[in-house]
Each structure stands twice: as structure tokens, then as C-alpha cells.
Amino acid sequence: MRALQAVRAKPGDLPTIGKSPTGIRGLDEITQGGLPQGRPTLLCGSAGCGKTLFGMTFLYNGAVEYGEPGVFLAFEEQPQELIKNVGSLNYDIGRLVAEKKLAIDHVEIERSKIAEAGEYDLEGLFIRLGFAIDSIGAKRVVVDTIETLFSGLENEQLLRSELRRLFEWLKAKGVTAVITGERGEGTLTRYGLEEYVADCVILLDNRVHDQLSTRRLRIVKYRGSAHGTNEYPFIIDEQGITVMPITSSGLAHEASTERVSSGIADLDQMLEGKGYYKGSSILVSGMAGSGKSTIAAHFADAVCGSGQRCIYFATEESPRQVIRNMRSIGIDLQRWIDKKLMRFSARRPSLFGLESHLATMYRDVSEYDPAAVVIDPMSALLGAGASGDVHAMVLRLVDFLKARGITALFTNLGVVAGDNAATEIQISSLMDVWLLLYNRESNGEHNRQLYLLKSRGMAHSNQVREFILSSEGIRLREAYLGPEGVLTGSARLAQEAKDRAAMLVREQEAERRSRELERKRREIAAQIEILQAQLASEEAETALTNREGVAREDQLAADRVAMGVSRQTGARPDKPAAKPTNKPKKRLDSI
């Protein structure tokens, strides 16, 4: 193994085949650059697959976009018919012919006008084709359709040999050639030879399932180049051919931390106050009338209001109907259409098959390059295919949008329950955010509720919120818990009235108690004031009594002294009066 790795050349060291870009959106991606340059490519399929248009588109884009003149050799249609047929695609073939950038040559091979005799070959065809190539310096050639030679000539063995020589001759001329052929029974072509001598074989198919037609393309082989091997849907419309080059973009897309508003402030609050992650996929499920389209319109309005573009894929309502309906809730989508910030793409699911719907969405998104996409409702696509096919389509669409960093909102019609939530097409696991909308019946009325079932990568509310549709849009109400759970509508209003009455009674009782307490406070204060006055009066009376007692005692003491002096004077008149002493007198109250 190491020896093999040692001798293996590095990428780019060895010669590889050149590529001629077709200019067909999607096909060059599948072929990794285009058709093999200077080699023949067989384009086969049944009638109505678009072989002639593929060939003419290859030449037109080569002359206009890549400066490579081309030759169209037709065995069935006249030049003027070809010019008119592709005029609906805005291909000005007449101008290219006049400018010597394109040559159209018609070779008529009609069995009734040809007589075969002896041996012959197709050298005359080679000379005619070579002259056309040399006259304009052609780099590209289309031969349409090779089966005409077999139907016009009988010698099939000779034709097989000459066809092999034609392929080798074209390769020797160094032109990139496309040869168209009719598909056979069990073989790629009717005569089973061309696919073996061609370097690249592309099979076109136009199948009908449940009355719906879908065109598909598959690269059967491509010598010298890697290529996509799956079947790819393609559409043909007024803008030409568009191939849907993805089956799944894988899981290598970026995960942005940037936030996108839902357009509903209350819903953003349930999503950490910031909204959805940019590039995420949001599913809004609910029964009819629950408000799915209204939530989608809020989101689209918020995206356009931020200056970014949005595509609204409508599968049930016309754009004018959607615009009119949203005006009733205060959302004017027409102003964003006028400012080129919004585009409607409205198609019934029964218009064509799922793959064609997918290819159309892919083309519209690639052209418009929006920041957000709305599909409303996605469940309507069940009318274009089985649930498994719709699941596969949505998976591819989600991967495609995530790879481009586009935020997508899908609405889905269905009756779901939070404890056993699922969608009919089983795509809920693909979604990053899932909103469930309920239309609850209680007390003779329906009330709308919203539940955020999941939101990957962020904390989110787990409350069931009632929401109101008004002339100002959607407004979510705070969850209101009653005795029997969350209440909505008139039951909520009745319970709120009861709660307000009970609160009023409590407030009135509190006020009554406050008044009673204040009255008691005033009474007690008055009583305290009276007691304090009584106490002060008693204190004053006591002090007065004490002073009067002291005065009486002093008077009694003085009287005793006087009485004593008087007695002594009467008994001894000649004895002098006693000398006063400093010894304190005894008070009566101390005896």
C-alpha cells in the first residue's frame, strides 16, 4: 500500500480531459464542468424529453457566453421551425446565424425519395457537415436525431459502421458534439450501438405518475471524469432548462449564531428574547384556522423590514389573496413587493410533479438569493406525491437552504398533540424549531393557543400561550392558570372577573381592618394622653403635699423652740439665755 501511495501522482500532475460548459444551470455541476471537450456525447430519450432543446441550448450558450460557434445538423425540423420553437425561450437564433456564430443545416432523408442500390456510405454527410463546421469555425456540433438515418435507409449493418465512423470523424475534427437518439425498448437507443462509441451518455426521461409528469436526467457514463450518478429532475419553461443538481447537500453546512426575529415580539421573548437562529428551519403546525399563515406573514414582514429579501412559496392561495388577508391584521406585504424585497411564487401542487416543484424552488432561490423562504403550506404537496416522496423532497430542500444559510419557515396542516406530535410526512425531526398551534373548543367557543415544542440550541419557554388575532397582528397573552389548569377565552375572562372580585373583597377587608386599627390607635393614644395628664396631676399634688408637710414640720419645730425658751425664762429669770447650738434639729417625719 505504501508503495502504491509513493508512485501515485499528485492531483494536476497528469493530463485530464477538457470540459465544454453547457451553460445549463445544474448540468455543469453534475458533470463537474460540462461535456467532454472535443468528444461526442450521446443524448438519448423518448419523445418529449427535451433532446432538441438541450442541443440548441448547448449551442446557443456556447456562442453567446463562451464565444464558441456551433453547427446544428437537423434531420427532422426545418431551420425556420427550429428558430420559432426556441424563440419562446428568448433565444435569438436568427441573429446568431446572421453573425456567423451559428449554422443550421437540414438534411432530408425520406425513404420514398431515396433509392438504395449497390454499396454506399455517408461520406456526403461528412463533407456537408465539415463544410458547415469550417465555414464558421465551429467548436460545437449537434446532430438531431440519428435514428432518422436508420428509418430512411435499410442497410442497418452499413449504417452502424458509418455511425461509428461519424463519431470518430467528429472526434478527429476536435469539435464537442452532441448526438441525439431515440430510446429503445430495454436499450438506451433503438439500435443499441451509439452508447458504446460515445464518450458521454446522458439519458433523459419524461415519466408520468398519478397523472403528473416529471422530467429526469441521468448521466449513464462519462469517460475520464467523475460525475453525478443519480437521477436529477429538470424543468423546461420560459427561462430555459434548469437541472436540480442536488439529492442531498450533506451535513456540512454552517451553524450561525445570528438571530432572526419571528416578527412577533411576544414569541421572540419565548426564544430567549432574540428569535430564531439564522439558517434554521421552522415548522408551524396546526389545524385549519389556527393562524399558521399569519405567523408566516409576520416572519416574512420582519425579514423584509430588516432590509433583506424573502420568497413566499404559496401552494393554496394566490398572492393577491394572501396580501389582502394580511392587511386585516395590519401587515402590508405589497410595500415589500414594490421595494423588490419580496417575491411570491404561487403554484398548485397538481401543476407538476414533486421533482419539478423542487427544481423550480431551487431555481427561484438561486436567482433571487433571499435571506428567508416561506413554504405555505408544505402539506399541500401531498397532492403531488406520496408522503415518502414528499419527505424526500423536503429533506433535499432543507439541506439546500441550510447550505446557503437561508432561514426557512414551513407551515403544515394537521391535527397534532404535544404529547404525541408528528406530521403526516414525518419531517418534524428535520426542523430546528417546531411551533404547535391549537384551536381549543370550550364554553361554546374556539380559542387559539401556541406551544413551542422544541427549539434547538437555545433555552425556550414551555408554556402554552393563548394568542389573539387583531387588527394589530398577533399578541400572545401570559399563561393564566385557573383551578382546572390553563384558561382561555371567556373562561379566562370569567375567572379573571372572579379573581378581581375576590381581590376587591380582600382589599376592602384590608382597608376595613386598617381603619379599625387606626381607630384603636387613636383611642389608645387618647387614653394614654389622659393617663399621662392624670399622672402629671398626681405628681404635682404629691409634690405640693410634700412641701406643705415640710413647712408644717418646720413651723412645729420653731414653735417647740419658742415654747422651750418661754418656759425657761419663767423659771429662771436671772439666768442668761442658752447659747444657740449648731446641732441640727430633728424633724418630725424622722421620729
Task: Give pLDDT tens digits for 186-245.
Answer: 667 666 666 677 889 999 988 777 676 778 899 999 998 888 888 888 888 777 888 876
Considering Cα of 271, then 275, then 281, then 284, what sign does the dihedral take?
Answer: positive
Indicate whether 202 belongs to any domain. Answer: yes
pLDDT, residue 252, reads 72
Range of the domain at 413: 259-479
DSSP labels for 491-549?
A: HHHHHHHHHHHHHHHHHHHHHHHHHHHHHHHHHHHHHHHHHHHHHHHHHHHHHHHHHHH
DSSP labels for 68-103?
A: --EEEEESSS-HHHHHHHTGGGT--HHHHHHTTSEE
Indicate whether 410 belongs to any domain. Answer: yes
The stretch 49-56 carries a mean pLDDT of 90
CA atoms within 13 A of residue 314's CA, in its CB half-sphere: 19
One domain, residues 229 and 264:
no
Q: Which residues contact 534 (CB under 8 A, 6 or more apart)?
A: none
Indicate whether 431 belongs to any domain. Answer: yes
DSSP state at residue 40: E
pLDDT, residue 587, reads 47
One domain, residues 345 and 454:
yes
One domain, residues 235 and 268:
no
Indicate whether 446 belongs to any domain. Answer: yes
Q: How is the beta sheet containing 310-314 ordered, strand by strand? A: 342-346, 310-314, 372-376, 407-413, 281-286, 433-442, 445-455, 464-470, 473-477
One domain, residues 204 and 269:
no
Q: How far apart are the first and last CA of the chain?
A: 135
Q: Are strands 372-376 and 310-314 parallel, antiparallel or unpaired?
A: parallel
pLDDT, residue 242, reads 80
Q: Looking at residue 327, which CATH number applies to its domain?
A: 3.40.50.300
Indicate whether 563 belongs to any domain. Answer: no
pLDDT, residue 248, reads 47
One domain, residues 322 and 193:
no
End residue of a domain, out of 210, 243, 276: 243
Indicate whether 146 belongs to any domain. Answer: yes
| pLDDT tens digits, one per residue of 488-524 | 556 666 667 777 788 888 888 898 899 889 989 999 9
Q: Is 316 known to be catalytic?
A: yes
Tell me the percentage of the chain whose pLDDT exceeds 90: 28
Q: How many structural domains is the chain composed of? A: 2
One domain, residues 125 and 264:
no
One domain, residues 222 and 303:
no
pLDDT, residue 151, reads 62
| pLDDT tens digits, one per residue of 60-88 | 999 999 999 999 999 888 889 889 888 88
Helix axes 123-136, 156-173, angle to 10 degrees: 20
| pLDDT tens digits, one per residue of 402-426 | 989 999 999 988 765 544 455 555 7
Indicate whether 528 belongs to any domain. Answer: no
The stretch 169-186 carries a mean pLDDT of 86
End residue of a domain, out of 184, 209, 243: 243
One domain, residues 438 and 322:
yes
Indicate whether 237 belongs to any domain. Answer: yes
DSSP state at residue 387: H
Confidence of residue 305 (pLDDT cuts 50, 70, 90): very high
The stretch 299-316 carries a mean pLDDT of 94
Q: Is 538 known to be catalytic?
A: no
pLDDT, residue 491, reads 63
**584 or 309, greater pLDDT:** 309
CB atoms near residue 76 (< 10 Å):
16
One domain, residues 343 and 211:
no
Choose, from 29, 231, 316, 317, the residue flagged as catalytic: 316
End residue of a domain, out of 456, 479, 502: 479
Confidence of residue 5 (pLDDT cuts 50, 70, 90): low
One domain, residues 42 and 170:
yes
CB 73 within 8 A of CB 144: yes
One domain, residues 283 and 355:
yes
Peptide bond into 233 cis (omega under 30): no
Confidence of residue 157 (pLDDT cuts 50, 70, 90): confident
CB 62 within 8 A of CB 70: yes
pLDDT of 444 above 50: yes
| pLDDT tens digits, one per residue of 353-385 | 777 788 788 888 988 999 999 998 888 887 666
Most confident of 17-21, 392-396, 502-506: 17-21
Choose, from 29, 76, 231, 317, the residue flagged as catalytic: 76
Rounded distance between C-alpha atoms, residue 433 and residue 448, angstroms:
19
Q: Which stretches of 328-433 are DSSP H helices?
A: 334-338, 354-368, 387-403
Confidence of residue 2 (pLDDT cuts 50, 70, 90): low
Rounded distance between C-alpha atoms, residue 67 and residue 53, angstroms:
20
One domain, residues 403 and 377:
yes
